[in-house]
A and B are shown apart, each in its own frame.
Chain A
Amino acid sequence: MLVEVRDLKLSIGPVPILQGVRLGMDAGDIYGLLGPNGAGKSTTLSVLTGLRRAGSGAVNVLGLDPATQAQALRRRIGVLSEDSGFYGWMKARDYLRFMSSLYGLDLPAQQIEAQLERVGLPGASAHPVGAFSRGMKQRLGLARALLHKPELLILDEPTNGLDPRGRREIHDLLIDLSQHHGVGILLCTHLLDDVDRLCNRIGIIADGRSVVEGSLADLLATRTGAGRYRLRLRGDPPLPAALPEGVTLIASEGEWMHVALPANADPGQVWAALLAAGWDLVEIHNESGGLEDFYLDLTHKELTS
Chain B
Amino acid sequence: MNSIRLIAAKETGELLGSGRGLGWLITLAVVLSAFSLLLVGSTELSLLDNAQAVYMVMGTITALGGLLAVVVGSDAIAGERERGTLVPLLLTPVSSTGIVLGKMGAQLAAWVAAYVVALPYLWAVGSSGQNLGAAVLYLALFGTPLVIGFGFYALGLSARLGNVRNAMLVALITLILAASPLVLGPSLRQSGIGKMFDAVNPFSAALNAFDSVVIDSDPFGMQIGRLGVVLAWLAVTALFARASARRLEGT
Closest to A47 in B: B250
- Chain B residues touching A, majority SS: helix
Query: What are some 19 contacts across the A-B interface (CB < 8 A)?
Result: A50-B250, A51-B90, A52-B250, A70-B249, A74-B91, A74-B93, A81-B87, A81-B88, A81-B91, A84-B88, A85-B84, A85-B85, A85-B86, A86-B85, A89-B18, A102-B6, A102-B92, A104-B3, A104-B93
Residues in chain A within 8 A of chain B (CB atoms): 49-53, 67, 70-72, 74-75, 79, 81, 83-87, 89, 98-99, 101-104, 141, 144
Q: A74, A86, A87: which has the most chain B beta carbons within 10 Å?
A: A87
A263 to chain B, nearest CB (A): 41
Q: How large is the interface on B (under 10, 10 to 19, 20 to 34, 35 or more residues)?
A: 20 to 34
Within 8 A of A (CB), among B62-108: 80, 83-95
Q: Do the beta carbons of A53 and B251 come within 8 Å of each other?
A: yes
**Most chain A CB atoms below 10 A, which of B80, B91, B92, B249:** B91
Check A85/B83 contact, CB under 8 A, given A71-B95, A74-B91. Answer: yes
For the complex, give the distance between the alpha carbons of A302 and B93 in Å. 38
Decide if B93 touches A50 in the complex (CB within 8 Å): no
Residue in A closest to B248 when the chains form the complex, CB atoms: A51
Question: With the chains together, A292 CA to B12 CA distance in Å?
Answer: 50
Known contacts A81-B87, A85-B87; 12 additional CB pairs below 8 A are A49-B91, A51-B90, A51-B91, A51-B250, A53-B251, A70-B249, A71-B93, A79-B88, A84-B84, A87-B14, A104-B3, A144-B88
For the complex formed, measure the closest distance between the CB of B85 and the CB atoms of chain A, giving whole angstroms. Answer: 4
B:1-31 near A, CB below 8 Å? 2-3, 6-7, 10, 14, 18
Among A74, A84, A89, A101, max chain B CB count under 10 A is at A101
- Is there an interface contact between B6 and A101, defined as CB atoms closer than 8 Å? yes
